[in-house]
Amino acid sequence: MSDTTQYFLEQSRLPRQWYNIMADFPEPMAPVLHPGTHQPVAPSDLAPLFPDTLIAQEMTAERYVEIPAAVLDIYKMWRPSPLIRARRLEKALDTPARIYFKYEGVSPAGSHKPNTAVAQAYYNAEAGTRRLTTETGAGQWGSSLAFAGSLFGLEVQVFQVKVSYQQKPYRQALMRTYGAECIPSPSNLTNAGRAILAENPDHPGSLGIAISEAVELAAQADDTKYALGSVLNHVMLHQSIIGQEALLQMEMAGDDPDILIGCTGGGSNFAGLVFPFLGEQLRGGRGRRILAVEPAACPTLTQGRFAYDFGDTAHLTPLTKMHTLGSSFTPPGFHAGGLRYHGMGPQVSHALQLGLIEARAYAQTGCFEAAVQFARHEGIVPAPECSHAVKAAIDEALRCKEEGQGQTILFNLSGHGHFDMQAYIDFFDGKLEDREYDAAAAEVALAQLPQLG
Amino acid sequence: MSDTTQYFLEQSRLPRQWYNIMADFPEPMAPVLHPGTHQPVAPSDLAPLFPDTLIAQEMTAERYVEIPAAVLDIYKMWRPSPLIRARRLEKALDTPARIYFKYEGVSPAGSHKPNTAVAQAYYNAEAGTRRLTTETGAGQWGSSLAFAGSLFGLEVQVFQVKVSYQQKPYRQALMRTYGAECIPSPSNLTNAGRAILAENPDHPGSLGIAISEAVELAAQADDTKYALGSVLNHVMLHQSIIGQEALLQMEMAGDDPDILIGCTGGGSNFAGLVFPFLGEQLRGGRGRRILAVEPAACPTLTQGRFAYDFGDTAHLTPLTKMHTLGSSFTPPGFHAGGLRYHGMGPQVSHALQLGLIEARAYAQTGCFEAAVQFARHEGIVPAPECSHAVKAAIDEALRCKEEGQGQTILFNLSGHGHFDMQAYIDFFDGKLEDREYDAAAAEVALAQLPQLG
């Protein structure tokens, strides 16, 4: 039997619609609230930040949304992405489980992020936007928007969390290669950044702060809009291409996942893979275990509160109901920069609240052990974020072995670690520490949650 | 019309044979000579370094060689590699030329090198080898052999040219992730290394020196063999999978290249793409222009002498007739580390000598300009080595524009630059210098060519 099984989906079978979980949730989500009035936002409230088309997608309850031809055309630069059965890893683990992964690292920027970056750049270009501002953690999102911007002739300005900016110089180089500007955050370019620096000039930054900076600049100029790489409904919508393809590819494999796994920061790679499968279940299909894996040092889903909160530190965004550690919570500087976010995508939070998914938290050292094991058998070096999903997949496969169960596991390997090798160097040199969750700091941050009437 | 055209070749159509140009050369190549006796080598002379199967492949004149099932199975982790039409680049250049590229960066190690690394690791594992030693420049080859070794349970020891070792720390991290050991060369582990360091403790290293170190260690131990990432006939053979696929993919595209382009260091990515096409021509097919592109600072094909020379600095290897700048020539430390070799694959040299191919040399700054232009339109960041091929493809497309000719160009984009981003940073910061070819140093080195009877 072949040790390599890659399920190639022909480009002619590339899905032409995004899937929207909103259509199938058994209970509606809590509305998004205006930060001033605490009333549900109207589309016009979001107009300073996003073009109308994206606002409509943020709010739509349609089950399927057509992917524009120009976006499909760019998707075809790397999509369909491969679905691979990890037979060598299965053998090494001596598990009766079947382990599959969907590999999103084949995109030009190296992760799943271009799935939404291209869509957002397209709709903005259509609407006449000249410049996009955004935040980035590890840099996966920033480089993806830079890539997308270069294709549509948009200027892109990226605020990168300072600790990641310092850890990952090659990511900035990638953004520059695509023609974007990359600024360490907090910066002196915005009121939000200056306020943080005044208190602490050495602040390591956080996604919440970087979002404030990007939003502030976008709100100031008519020709400038803001783009977010996760969290929002329209981002989850665009990422559904991952799961839409995986449904077809699992069918090609003649198999069906019992367990779906993704790592969660804002939730978009997780939602991208699992929501199309969850939708099937909610429409009467079979039930599956769905597992969100997060870092122990920033355990939004496993330790956070389900409450209305701001998406950013300076409180410029609308209020969304989500699992949060408080918008002023700054997680320690561990290596999975893309998972260092105080909140969670409201759709993912809603799914957890409804008991449709499970959540689990892992410390980083064990994740890197799993990632190295994976690389030595499957060849691909996972991004530190994805190492959380790899660890969970291996743990579930070992549980199957213990229980003598031949279950099918599918996880999202949402990006490669080529730009994160310093993390691997630290791991090999024994310099990687497991960072503690600062529960006391989260308590302080949670005490500042907005008080709603 | 779609701007994205990727020619997917189904895995069921993956070629099952490597192609050997030896069968079709109109004149035989000069024999390989023993370094001591200057007589043609016998297979047994090479036995300390290579397993019998690879020695047989080095010498065979069979046109096609079966790819072992285990190697094919690993190829399927990333092969067939995509053939992509660069329509966005064509539009930006406003050229009537059609530009295609074969993209080898989809392999786990990020370049074409695993095509031969996997084959060499397989044959060594079959023959009972426990450990492989090798050299690497930029690190593409070292990380590829590390990857292949991890799949076959072989220890891998990599001597990396010191200037590249220092420029590219993430490459070492990749080799360590795959479980290999990476040593900066010249090192104190070998007589060859110690002799160089005694003369110059700050020697930047060269591929010739690193080869000497790896060969020396392999020759000392029965369970240790040597693996070379380019130059040799069996490496060119394994790389032919690239061109074998491209022949099928160009057929799918309903097009046929007028010009084939590859960058050349030792010649393996170039040969891998072009030899299957050249073979067709030599068997009576249509003629095509075939263009080898090398760095102006190490211009082996355009400025070197066609003569018998050693493959390494310490004169441990057999003598091969090739284009050479002299085995003691140390090129300056420019960024395309994989192209810093004093010699050239004998098959590529033979092809140039017979007038079957052309050669051209470029300075690095222009190559990086071309690479950035390519990345902004096609999304992929080329390795510094491949930027030479990109530049040539763009120049040819501009020539077509000037001449009003709609020619078809196919080049090999043999790897991505994710581990070479310092080169891009230097380029953007204006710190990249064009290094001069040191003709006087080459004269000195060429004066030391072995005197044959």
Query: CB of B376 within 8 Å of any CB in chain A?
Result: yes
A184 within domain boundaries: no
Residue B250 has pLDDT above 60, yes or no: yes
- pLDDT band of A3, cuts 50, 70, 90: low
Cβ distance of A379 and B421 shorter than 8 Å: no
pLDDT of A408 reads 98
Q: What is d(CA A371, CA A383) in angstroms, rounded to the nearest whole number?
A: 8
B427 within domain boundaries: yes
Report the share of chain B in percent with pLDDT over 70.
Answer: 99
Distance from CA of A377 to the nearest CA of B (A): 6
Pairing of strands B98-103, B408-413: parallel
Give the ipTM of the model, two decimals please. 0.95
Stretch B247-263: mean pLDDT: 97
Per-chain mean pLDDT for chain B: 95
Query: CB of A153 within 8 Å of any CB in chain B?
Result: no
Distance from CA of B438 to the nearest CA of A (A): 31
Q: What is d(CA A23, CA A26) in angstroms, rounded to the nearest whole number?
A: 9
Q: Which helix (H) or strand (E) holds B150?
A: helix B140-152
Closest partner residue to B379 (CB to CB) among A108, A376, A421 is: A108
As to burial, measured by CB atoms within 10 angstroms (0-12 exposed, 13-18 middle, 19+ buried), residue A334 is buried
Distance from CA of B246 to the nearest CA of A (A): 18
CATH label of the domain that carries residue A399: 3.40.50.1100
Looking at the 3D structure of chain A, how many domains does it have?
1
B63 within domain boundaries: no
CA A298, A304, A305 angle in degrees (round to 5)?
Answer: 160
DSSP per-residue letters across A29-46: PPPPB-TTT-SBPPHHHH
B146 within domain boundaries: no
Query: CB count, 10 Å around CB of A287?
Result: 11
B155 within domain boundaries: no
Q: Which helix (H) or strand (E) holds A248?
A: helix A233-252
Which is it for the CA torsion B91, B95, B97, B103, positive or negative?
Answer: negative
Chain B residues with beta carbon closer than 8 angstroms to that of A84: 77
CA B141 to chain CA centroid, nearest Å:
9
pLDDT of A333 reads 76
Q: Which helix (H) or strand (E) holds B238?
A: helix B233-252
Six-digit token string for A298: 């920033």
Residue A36 has pLDDT above 80, yes or no: yes
Closest partner residue to A73 (CB to CB) among B2, B74, B109 is: B2
Residue A230 has pLDDT above 80, yes or no: yes
Stretch B311-320: mean pLDDT: 92
* Strand partners for B289: B259
**Lowest mean pLDDT across A159-168, A442-451, B186-195:** A159-168
pLDDT of A138 reads 86
Q: Which backbone phi and psi does B449 adopt, to 5 degrees?
A: -60, 145
**Count of H-run helices and E-run strands, chain B:** 18, 15
List the 38-77 stretch of B: residues with Cβ below 8 A of A: 73-74, 76-77
pLDDT of B4 reads 62
- pLDDT band of B452, cuts 50, 70, 90: confident
**pLDDT 10s digits, B278-302:** 999 999 999 999 999 999 999 999 9
List the 378-437 stretch of B: residues with Cβ below 8 A of A: 378-381, 418-419, 421-422, 424-425, 428
Distance from CA of B74 to the nearest CA of A (A): 6
Cβ distance of B170 and A108 shorter than 8 Å: no
pLDDT of B320 reads 97
List the 129-148 stretch of A: residues with Cβ below 8 A of B: 147
Give the type of residue at A135. Answer: E
Stretch B350-372: mean pLDDT: 98
Cβ distance of A151 and B424 shorter than 8 Å: no
Chain A residues with beta carbon closer than 8 angstroms to that of B381: 108, 174, 177
Nearest residue of chain A to residue B418 (CA atoms) = A418
Q: Containing domain of residue B339, as a range? A: 5-14+68-110+233-447
- pLDDT band of A453, cuts 50, 70, 90: low
Distance from CA of A156 to the nearest CA of B (A): 13
A225 by DSSP, 3-state: which? strand
Stretch B181-208: mean pLDDT: 95
B117 within domain boundaries: no
Chain B residues with beta carbon closer than 8 angstroms to that of A4: 73-74, 76-77
- pLDDT band of B270, cuts 50, 70, 90: very high
Please name the residue ranges forming H helices in B345-431: 346-353, 364-378, 384-403, 421-428
**pLDDT 10s digits, A390-430:** 999 999 999 999 999 999 999 999 999 999 999 999 999 99
Cβ distance of A77 and B6 shorter than 8 Å: yes
Query: CB count, 10 Å around CB of A196?
Result: 23
Stretch A41-64: mean pLDDT: 97
Stretch B322-344: mean pLDDT: 89
Chain B residues with beta carbon closer than 8 angstroms to that of A68: none
Closest partner residue to B174 (CB to CB) among A106, A110, A381 is: A381
Distance from CA of A315 to the nearest CA of B (A): 35
Query: CB of A91 within 8 Å of any CB in chain B?
Result: no
Residue A340 has pLDDT above 80, yes or no: yes
Closest partner residue to B8 (CB to CB) among A11, A179, A424 is: A11
Distance from CA of B346 to the nearest CA of A (A): 31
pLDDT of B298 reads 95
Distance from CA of B183 to the nearest CA of A (A): 15
pLDDT of B338 reads 84
Six-digit token string for B162: 């010191």
B386 within domain boundaries: yes
pLDDT of A332 reads 83
pLDDT of B3 reads 65
E strand segments, A151-210: 155-161, 181-185
pLDDT of B399 reads 98
Query: CB count, 10 Å around CB of A325?
Result: 27
**How many CB contacts within 8 angstroms connect chain A with chain B?**
130
**pLDDT 10s digits, A263-319:** 999 999 999 999 999 999 999 999 999 999 999 999 999 999 999 999 998 898 999
A315 within domain boundaries: yes
